Amino acid sequence: MAYSEANVIAGGLAHIPIVVGVFGLIQALILKGTTNKPPANGTEQGAKKEQQESPSTQLGSQSSSSQKTIKKPAHPNVPVNTYKPKTPFIGTVTENYSLLKQGAIGRVNHITFDLSDGNPLLKYVEGQSIGIIPSGEDAKGKPHKIRLYSIASTRHGDNLKGNTVSLCVRQLQYEKDGETINGVCSTFLCDIKAGDKVKITGPVGKEMLLPDDEDSNIIMFATGTGIAPMRAYLRRMFEPTEREKNQWNYKGKSWLFMGAPKTENLLYDSDFETYKAKFPENLRYTKAISREQKNPTGGRMYIQDRVVEYADEIFSLIENPKTHIYLCGLKGMEPGIDEAMRQAAQSKGLDWSELRPQLKNLEINIIRWNERYQIVEKKLNEICCIELPLRFKEERFVGSSIQFRIPNISNAEAKSFINKNKQLGVELKWFGNDNPNGFTSNHKSWKYVKDQNLEKSDEILSGLFDLRLPLSFDLDDCETIANIITECVEQLSLKID
Ligand SMILES: Cc1cc2nc3c(=O)[nH]c(=O)nc-3n(C[C@H](O)[C@H](O)[C@H](O)COP(=O)(O)OP(=O)(O)OC[C@H]3O[C@@H](n4cnc5c(N)ncnc54)[C@H](O)[C@@H]3O)c2cc1C
Ligand SMILES: NC(=O)c1ccc[n+]([C@@H]2O[C@H](COP(=O)([O-])OP(=O)(O)OC[C@H]3O[C@@H](n4cnc5c(N)ncnc54)[C@H](OP(=O)(O)O)[C@@H]3O)[C@@H](O)[C@H]2O)c1
CA angle 250, 252, 258 (to 5 degrees): 95
Separation of CA 108 and ligand 2 centre (Å)? 12
| Distance (Å, whole) CA 290 – CA 160 | 34
| Distance (Å, whole) CA 426 – CA 215 | 40
Residue at 248: amino acid letter: W
Separation of CA 170 and ligand 2 centre (Å)? 10
**Closest C-alpha residue for ligand 1 atom 20:** 186
Whether the Cβ atoms of residue 165 and residue 113 lie closer than 8 Å to each other: yes
Radius of gyration, CA atoms only, the chain: 27
Residues 6 or more apart in contact with residue 369 via CB below 8 angstroms: 398, 399, 400, 469, 471
Separation of CA 26 and ligand 2 centre (Å)? 16
Across 78-159, the runs of DSSP E, i.e. the strands, are 89-98, 108-114, 129-133, 147-150
**Closest C-alpha residue for ligand 2 atom 9:** 329
Residues having CB closer than 6 A to ligand 1 are 1, 22, 129, 147-150, 167-170, 172, 174, 176, 183-187, 225, 228
Residue at 263: amino acid letter: T
The tens-digit pLDDT sequence of the chain (497 residues) is 222 222 222 122 222 323 222 222 333 322 222 222 333 444 443 333 332 222 221 212 222 233 344 455 567 789 999 999 999 999 999 999 999 999 999 999 999 999 998 999 999 999 999 999 999 999 899 999 999 999 999 999 999 999 999 999 999 999 999 999 999 999 999 999 999 999 999 999 998 999 999 999 999 999 999 999 999 999 999 999 999 999 999 999 999 999 999 999 999 999 999 999 999 999 999 999 999 999 999 999 999 999 889 888 887 887 777 888 899 999 888 888 888 888 878 877 778 787 777 666 677 888 899 999 999 999 999 988 899 998 887 787 889 999 999 998 999 999 999 999 999 999 999 999 888 777 777 788 888 888 888 888 888 999 999 999 999 999 999 999 999 999 999 887 655 44
**Closest C-alpha residue for ligand 1 atom 42:** 174
Residues 6 or more apart in contact with residue 479 via CB below 8 angstroms: 66, 375, 379
Q: List the one residue out of 137, 130, 152 whose CA is nearest residue 201.
A: 130
Residues having CB closer than 6 A to ligand 2 are 22-23, 150, 170, 223-226, 228, 259-261, 265, 290-291, 300, 302-304, 328-330, 332-333, 336
What region does 26 belong to: left with phi over 0, alpha with psi -120 to 50, or beta?
A: beta
**Closest C-alpha residue for ligand 1 atom 18:** 147
Q: Which domains does the chain have, with CATH numbers?
A: 4-41+207-360 (3.40.50.80), 89-204 (2.40.30.10), 363-496 (3.90.1150.10)
Whether the Cβ atoms of residue 218 and residue 328 lie closer than 8 Å to each other: no
Q: Is the dihedral of CA 189, 195, 201, 206 positive or negative?
A: positive
Question: What is the atom index within ligand 1 of the atom nearest the CA of 228?
Answer: 8
Whether the Cβ atoms of residue 267 and residue 225 lie closer than 8 Å to each other: yes
Question: What is the atom index within ligand 2 of the atom nearest the CA of 260?
Answer: 43
Separation of CA 172 and ligand 1 centre (Å)? 6
| Distance (Å, whole) CA 335 – CA 379 | 47
Q: List the one residue out of 210, 44, 36 whose CA is nearest residue 127.
A: 210
Could you count the other beta carbons within 10 Å of the beta carbon of residue 299?
Answer: 10
**Closest C-alpha residue for ligand 2 atom 23:** 260
Question: What is the atom index within ligand 2 of the atom nearest the CA of 334?
Answer: 32
**Closest C-alpha residue for ligand 1 atom 3:** 149
What pLDDT is recorded for position 359? 62
